[in-house]
Chain A
Amino acid sequence: MTRNSSRPLTRRVFFKRSLASLALGAAIGLGGLAEAKTPDNMLVIAHRIDDITTLDPAQSFEFAGSDVIMNVYGKLVNFDPLNLEAGFQPDLAESWEVSEDGLSITFTMREGVNFHSGNPVTADDAAFSLQRVVKLNKTPSFILTQFGFTPENVEETIVADGNTLTITTDKKYATSFVLNCLTATLGGIVEKALVMENEQDGDLGNAWLATNSAGSGAYKVVNWKPSESYTLAANPDFYLGAPSMKRVIVQHIQESATQRLLLEKGDVDIARNLNPEDVAGLEDQESVAVDTDLKGNLMYISFNQKHPQLSNPKVVEALKYLIDYKGMEDSFLKGQWREHQSFLPAGYLGAIDDKPFSYNVEKAKELLAEAGVENLEFEAGVREAQERIEIAQSLQNTFAQAGITMNITIGTGKQILTRYRARELDMYLGAWGPDYPDPQTNAGTFAYNPDNSDEAQATGLLAYRNAWDPGPLTAAVEAAVIEGDTDKRREMYEQMQRDFQAVAPFAIMFQKTAQTARQASVKDFTIGGSVTATAYWPVTK
């Protein structure tokens, strides 16, 4: 068989030339498209934002959502992002006064602050915003309703009068407690008229505010595409001065390696979810800086007091000496969790840094011998998250050094939590995040359990879930909540935590840290520490 040689050859040559020219064209054409760096007045952030469910301050209860609301809405009182230690500061309320009986706080509104629409922020808007939280009764509403506000009484207990707003609680609470709660995301003040214009079926604008904004903060929402991005535009009339960053774009980038690549290429200014390996990879880069901040989450283990041996204080104490706090912090938890042994996260009013326990097998063995416990075996419930499983494995190993057998049960959040709430787990390993920036948020769950009976069903309380009666600590928590003198209140929490460390069947182990990598030129970017959310308005570059 002979081959018709000329045609295939011609085609082959043609094919090769076409390929070569295509490749060259692609290289030249696309080579010129390498992106420019971010502009000086624009902040571009790579972040995981797929947890945002709504932009309504009365409903939002996620980290990424709090960041948006922090920048879009003013609150009566708020933290100064560059001085978090100072605690709450005046924001839309210029000042406040507490009534003699301690039940009412009257806020005087700041004059001359406008919403993004141009309308002035009034006491009426503030009253509406807080009443709305109570009436809508969404998840975070308990932060306000714990002061006795109900949908029925809220018109009488939260009242605007001219330029003042008065809130009246059901009993006397520490002023710092009430004000700390108002710095939470739900304290965002919305524009009443605009929200009510967009009300659907009596929802007080809930559906509309889920994707739109009606605030007076440094930025307004341009758009939010779930699990994709959100864009904020600067409010030139922001009462603290127009922000330097005219536009903030936050892109949802799931992968740490992708975030790092974008940062190194200069296509983003900030990468917020780098894993320790990628952070280590950036160490030599002069153009990039890494900030480490403490967040509010705590990692802890707790022991069910219904268990015959785990309810022995000596056994609990022994177990606290069988945790390799430093070993875990310096190995697989590096850069993500820091050793912390008290129930208030660093950064909170009254937080202490005492670390009475360290890994000490001999001490633990002594305590177990004193307790007369041998061959202890129990079950630990762990949710299926990598770092928790690794912690559980470390504990299993160190407990075994003292002859204790810990059987790990790994399950979904629902499986493990259901059993934990039903007080069925011998040991629970988990994380706890504070709900609002006041010590009561953790004291009221770790160290408070007025009725330890099974019938009480106080499943929201961590002490209850472990069938633990905190004894005098319950009363101490109640006393601290109504203590008007902030310094005295601080001392009360400090003492409370020391008592808790000594007797509680909880071993608090770690506090969450967040590592944020940024271009070295970006200044004053703060993620709000353990008490509040990220602020974009102070940022310069």
Chain B
Amino acid sequence: MSQPAADSSATLANRSPRTLWWTKAGMSVLRTLGMILVTMLGLLFVTFIIGRVMPIDPVISIVGERASKEVYDAAFISMGLDKPLLVQFFVYLGDVIQGDFGQSLLNSRPVLDDIKRVFPATLELATLGTIFGVLIGVPLGVISAVKRDSWIDQITRVIALVGYSMPIFWLGLVGLLVFYGVLGWVGGPGRVGIFYVDVVPVVTGMILVDSALDGQWDVFRDALSHIILPAGILGYYSLAYISRMTRSFMLEQLGSEYITTARVKGLSEWAVITRHAFGNIKVQLITVIALSYASLLEGSVLTEIIFAWPGIGSYITTALLSADMNAVLGGTVVIGLVFVCLNVFSDLLYAFFDPRARDNAS
């Protein structure tokens, strides 16, 4: 050990365990950051190119069909469309790196401001939907696996099947008609009733959080009455997926030999199910939940339209239909970032829940 280090591995080996841990952790962080960077760059490039080659004219979107040639040309040049495609991309990239997503071509506002307004609305909705999905879907999946082929399993399967096959558009409208129109149990479309529009100061952009922070509980109750139905409907779809996956993961575990061993050892059924079987599906479940959450964050366009929910899904859709490519790109970057962050977060949770992953990391 007293020999001078001849190569880098020997150098590494010579370092104290703490230094080694830091080095590995640092490299891991760098690798993750690199992955995020490459993913985001690729995403930006592909979206940018698709936006430029698709057969919608962004200039006409702004100046209208009947604009004179001078007005059209002025807009064409001011949007930088006269430059080569790659130059346009690098100019855009330079702006994005500085946090400037440009202005929405349609509403003349900075895209970032729009995203700050619409993303929290979706985040709030998707988070609540996922909470519903997890709180109900996971126990339902576990119970139906434990009580395989019993009536409760059959019901769970029907619930999941309906959830998979029912168009969200229809379910949303029927839900509105029944719970808002007929029963009057919940608030109507929109995030809050007209009396509470702009009452709460914006901190996070999520009305439930902001009203709670401000201590305005009547606004909180009103916002809750508005979000409960769309979140419930999104949660239902999430539930259908999560319960099916939980059931199949659990069945796989319950059929394993170690479960039989545990039972033979005289462990209570509760302990067998919760500690042993469920303990082993946590990592898989994290992936399922993260995927479901991400899909609610980007894919709830129809729910947003029916419930007049000003979220990022309908924002991107409207922008796309109007050829507002700055807005589309900005929205796509945010959704892409969310996916990447959820991925990283799931990886961290793996390390937390799975001893093998933890050992690997350390």
Residues of A within 8 A of B (CB): 1, 3-4, 7-8, 11, 26-27, 29-31, 33-36, 38, 42, 44, 50, 52-54, 61, 137-139, 141-142, 207, 210-211, 222-223, 225-229, 231, 249, 251-255, 257-258, 261-262, 264-265, 267, 412-415, 417, 435, 460
Contacts and interface: CB of A to CB of B under 8 A. Distances in A.
Interface in B285-341: 305-308, 310, 314-315, 318
Nearest to B177: A261
A253 B191 CA distance: 12
Contact of B185 (A27, A227, A415): A27
Contacts of B109: 210-211, 226
What range describes how many residues of B lie at the interface? 35 or more
A53 B65 contact: no
B108 to A, nearest CB: 4
Nearest to B71: A139
Interface string B60-76: 10111111101100100
A213 to B, nearest CB: 15
Contacts of A251: 190, 194, 308
B187 A33 contact: yes
B221 A33 contact: yes
Contact of B55 (A223, A229, A265, A412): A412
Given A223-B198, A227-B315, A414-B55, A252 B308 contact: yes
B268 to A, nearest CB: 4
B107 A52 contact: yes
19 contacts: A1-B263, A7-B268, A30-B224, A33-B222, A36-B195, A38-B194, A53-B62, A53-B107, A54-B108, A61-B64, A138-B71, A210-B108, A210-B109, A227-B314, A229-B197, A254-B314, A258-B173, A413-B57, A415-B55
A211 B55 CA distance: 30
B269 A3 contact: yes
A479 B64 CA distance: 28
A3 B177 CA distance: 46
Nearest to A28: B185
A261 B180 contact: yes
B270 interface: yes
Given A44-B194, A137-B71, A225 B310 contact: yes
Contacts of B263: 1
Nearest to A15: B139
Contact of A261 (B55, B67, B181): B181
A267 B185 contact: no
A258 B306 contact: yes
B186 interface: yes
A225 to B, nearest CB: 7
A139 B64 contact: yes
Contact of B305 (A29, A30, A254, A261): A254
A210 B106 CA distance: 11
Contact of B225 (A30, A142, A226, A253): A30
A141 B56 contact: no
B194 A249 contact: yes
Nearest to B70: A137
B269 A226 contact: no
A460 B66 CA distance: 6
B104 interface: yes
B351 interface: no
Contact of A265 (B74, B188, B310, B318): B188
B188 A262 contact: yes
Contacts of A252: 308, 310
Contacts of B306: 255, 257-258
B74 A137 contact: yes
A4 B310 contact: no
Nearest to A261: B181
Nearest 5 A/B pairs, CB to CB: A34-B184, A33-B225, A228-B310, A226-B107, A4-B268
Contacts of B108: 53-54, 207, 210-211
Given A35-B188, A258-B176, A415-B55, A460 B318 contact: no
Nearest to B321: A50
A352 B63 CA distance: 31
A147 to B, nearest CB: 15
Interface in B153-183: 173, 176-177, 180-181, 183
Contact of A50 (B117, B225, B270, B318): B318
